[in-house]
Chains A and B, each alone.
Chain A
Amino acid sequence: MRNITKTFGTIVANDNVSLDIYKGEILSLLGENGSGKTTLMNMLSGIYFPDGGQIYIDGKPVSISSPREAFDYGIGMIHQHFKLVDVFTAAENIVLGLEEKGRLDLNRAGEKIRKICDTYGFDVDPEQKIYNMSVSQKQTVEIVKVLYRGADILILDEPTAVLTPQEAEKLFAVLRNMKKDGKTVVIITHKLHEVEEISDRVAVLRKGKYVGEMITSQTNAQEMTNMMVGREVILNIDRPEPVNPRPRIEVKDLTVRSSDNVLKLDEVSFTANAGEILGIAGISGCGQKELLEAIAGLQTVESGSIRYIEDDGSSESLIGKDPLQIASMGVSLSFVPEDRLGMGLVGSMDLTDNMMLRSFRKGRSVFTDRKTPKKLAEKVVDELEVNTPGVSTPVRRLSGGNVQKVLVGREIASSPTVLLSAYAVRGLDINSSYMIYNLLNKQKKNGVAVVYVGEDLDVLLELCDRILVLCGGRVSGIVDGKTADKNRVGMMMTRLGGGDFE
């Protein structure tokens, strides 16, 4: 029996966590974003070193200060961001770091890889370069890599986040095979249905603290949610009636290809209304990013049209215009991008300087005006309760929720007519999330056309008036937020139109 106990002292990410993992089981590590699941497992796999506490394997105290030592103890971790070298082949990646005797023999490695694949039901070509692979293929390489090393304990960090349901099913089948083979699997997740489907036991973390554990078969989704969030959650998001909805953005047959010629959007058509929140649902990477960027003028469009419709009914095309040209047309379009510090804000600049990112060109002077943005920054800090030492603090030093408040605060300050937002509450705590929902609703009441790309179906269903479901770059359907059924939307995300299995 492998019995690992860890306690942590100072770092808030994990506060005195003790956890047991038993041989031959599938354990789910459940918790919200930022509850310290990944940090905890990183310490097991040698990426981080604990500030306090002790790890025991088979009852003996051990110290794991590097991934290599973790391998020696038979622990292998599959990270959320794959640790693969893009220009290497699968086989090269798999043998990387192994201290085998003799010369590098990739052919022999290839054979061994094929054998592992046959045992568990993978499909990997050892000769294929990583940069030619799909996300799920890369994940498979990661798993094979860990198995190749003879790991007994596999840790998977949110493995299904990037997979289609079919791929996830396949993965679960493989995990079950491994369990049968006597391996231990730890799967980090925040999706309840996965916990129920795959795991024997579930351990829950909340805000860096260990909350408890349960046998999966003896619990239910409600109980797990309660443990995860700490209180009964009734998602109760306001949904005011749409105010005088009228078409604002009309997208027709929009087709977009990425720079490496992959079809990202395929003949997408819809209308976003003013005074309404249009939700966009879909598995991540289904074209949400490209769709928003195409509207914002940041993405080259292959074909189709995007028209902006004024209140008086006249309309203008947004295709082929950059953000500056769109603004100069008098269209006030705000965009809260997914990558907050990499795109929406400049991390090393302070709040004031970030406030003027959009507006610094105003006025004839060759010099920038910092008084107005400073006032705006103070106003945003004040109204959105941004927790910061001051407006001259670099935004990089703020926490995720506060960064997002700064970004959203700036984007709505220009009193937009269109507000695009991508994963606006990702990584935010509940309070900040609700503040964002309220802000979006306020914009809606002001007659703004709000587009909300989200990943949590419950939120989408409670917040949005209509929900556009994307599936593989195509519109799977548009449903009414008030009447839509969660399961049905889930189906539509994975199959065009959400039809039943053929």
Chain B
Amino acid sequence: MRKESKEPLIHITKRRGVPWQKAWLIRIIAIALALVICAIVTTAATGLDPVGVYGTMLEGAFGTERKVWILGKETAVLLCISIAMAPAFRMKFWNLGGEGQVLIGAWMTAACMIVLGDSLPGPLLILVMLISSILIGALWAGIPAFFKAKWNTNETLFTLMMNYVAIQLVAYYIIVWESPKGSGKVGIINQMTRSGWLPSIGNYQYLLNILIVALLTAGIYIYLQYSKHGYEISVVGESQSTARYVGIKVERVIIRTLLLSGGLCGLCGFLMVAGTDHTITTTLAGGRGFLGVMVAWLAQFNPLAMVLVSLLLCVLSRGAGEISTAYGLNQSFGDILTGIILFCIIGSEFFINYKIHFRKSAGGKLEPPAGKEGTEHV
């Protein structure tokens, strides 16, 4: 009744730190693999040759000067949300409320433009818009943070639900502010007076946003890396009992960090409405609140890596958008490609954190299979 002797074929152990070159090599392999899969999928859907697919994608992202500017604008938005997420995630607080925080900041900006547009002088109006949008974004993240700190309420779902509260609130005001009546849209706000519109630098409409986000990125990098607050955030994220042991007030750090995170999202909403869109819709954030979470996570909460990751994702989504238009596919095609790329990069983290050993089998009948796993644990 004894079982036959058998040994596990594959044996997995945790790695103790990987040199960064190797980690990046693994990630690059993953991205390359993702691009190959994307090309296969696209070829299957369009019947194009893969080279043409890449060409079209690059064309879509960098084809004309205008396209490069749009790419810059889109990257700035995604990057802004990602860096807003970074402090919260470094603290291991899952803020999935980026959508709502951006939207509510945008709503506040629009509200100021509509209500105060004629009564305040330009610079003062912009200042009021800026401050109020940051404050309400901070509030939107601060409420879940307060409950998390006080009663350990599940922040993942709380922030998620706050998204929809924000969406419905905006939906309500879109009907209230409807213009022209019956269109179901707000239209361009203050189109004639341009009051509350952020100035453009020279002829470059998107440059100001890009510069502001670049500054914010550097700022957050320094904040997380070198400031005392940043240090506290790291300690709280790693171990709350250590934080208490050294006298860090955990509750206060949680709330403070989320106010910052939400405030930055609110600011992002402000930049989108006042800087580029000049209108508001319920789909303003367009899933980027979630995408920002993934960017922040993939970049391992390092703001500088976030620049690269968000640029990559924006290039891909612009490229995918181009393919959709060029070959008459649906716009959602971009989401599918983004998903494939995310899965590949996400999956590659395994090969960074774990090592695979293949057991030498006694009979020699099992050779280590060649291929992905075989090459990556060298």
A binding-site residues for B, Cβ under 8 Å: 49, 60-63, 65, 69, 72, 296-298, 322-324, 327, 335, 337, 339, 342-349, 353, 356-358, 360-361, 365-368, 394, 397
Contact = CB atoms under 8 A, between A and B. Distances in A.
B226 A60 contact: no
A349 to B, nearest CB: 7
A357 B244 CA distance: 11
Interface stretch (B2-10, B173-181, B196-204): B2-10
A430 B242 CA distance: 28
Contact of A346 (B6, B234, B244): B234
Contact of B227 (A296, A337, A368, A397): A368
Q: Sort A-B residue pairs by CB-CB distance and give the 7 closest, nearest first.
A: A324-B247, A323-B247, A63-B5, A346-B238, A343-B241, A357-B246, A367-B226
A339 B7 CA distance: 36
Contacts of A353: 231, 234
Contacts of B7: 49, 63, 65
B229 interface: yes
Given A62-B5, A65-B7, A397-B16, A368 B228 contact: yes
A337 B17 contact: no
Contacts of A345: 242
Nearest to B232: A360
Greatest chain B CB density within 10 A among A324, A343, A348 is at A343
B241 to A, nearest CB: 5
Contact of A65 (B6, B17, B246): B6
B150 interface: no
A358 B246 contact: yes
Interface residues of B, number: 26
B245 A343 contact: yes
A346 B239 contact: yes
9 contacts: A49-B11, A72-B3, A323-B247, A335-B245, A346-B238, A349-B238, A360-B228, A368-B228, A397-B16
A62 B6 contact: no
Given A339-B241, A344-B242, A368 B247 contact: no
A366 B229 contact: yes
A51 to B, nearest CB: 9
Contacts of A367: 226-228
Contacts of B213: none
A343 B229 CA distance: 19
B235 A346 contact: yes
Contact of A361 (B11, B16, B228, B242): B228
B86 to A, nearest CB: 17
A198 to B, nearest CB: 31
Interface string B227-265: 111110011001101101111010000000000000000
Interface in B42-98: none
B92 to A, nearest CB: 12
A345 B11 CA distance: 31
B238 A347 contact: yes
A210 B228 CA distance: 50
Given A353-B231, A356-B231, A367-B228, A60 B241 contact: no
A357 B239 contact: no
Contacts of A335: 245
B245 A298 contact: yes
A342 B5 contact: no
Contact of B247 (A63, A327, A344, A356): A327
Contact of A368 (B2, B3, B16, B226): B226
A368 B241 contact: no
Contacts of B2: 60, 62
Interface string B114-153: 0000000000000000000000000000000000000000
Interface in B10-41: 11, 16-17
A72 B1 CA distance: 10
B8 A65 contact: yes
Contacts of A63: 5-7
A366 B228 contact: yes
B242 A342 contact: yes
Contacts of A296: 245
A373 B34 CA distance: 43
Contacts of A298: 244-245
A12 to B, nearest CB: 14
Given A365-B228, A397-B17, 14 more contacts: A49-B8, A49-B11, A60-B2, A62-B2, A65-B6, A72-B3, A296-B245, A323-B247, A339-B241, A346-B238, A347-B239, A358-B246, A367-B228, A368-B228
Nearest to A363: B228
Nearest to B226: A367
A345 B241 CA distance: 10
Contacts of B229: 366
Which of A72, A297, A342, A347 has the most CB atoms of chain B within a 10 A radius of its CB? A342
Given A343-B241, A361-B228, A366-B229, A394 B6 contact: no
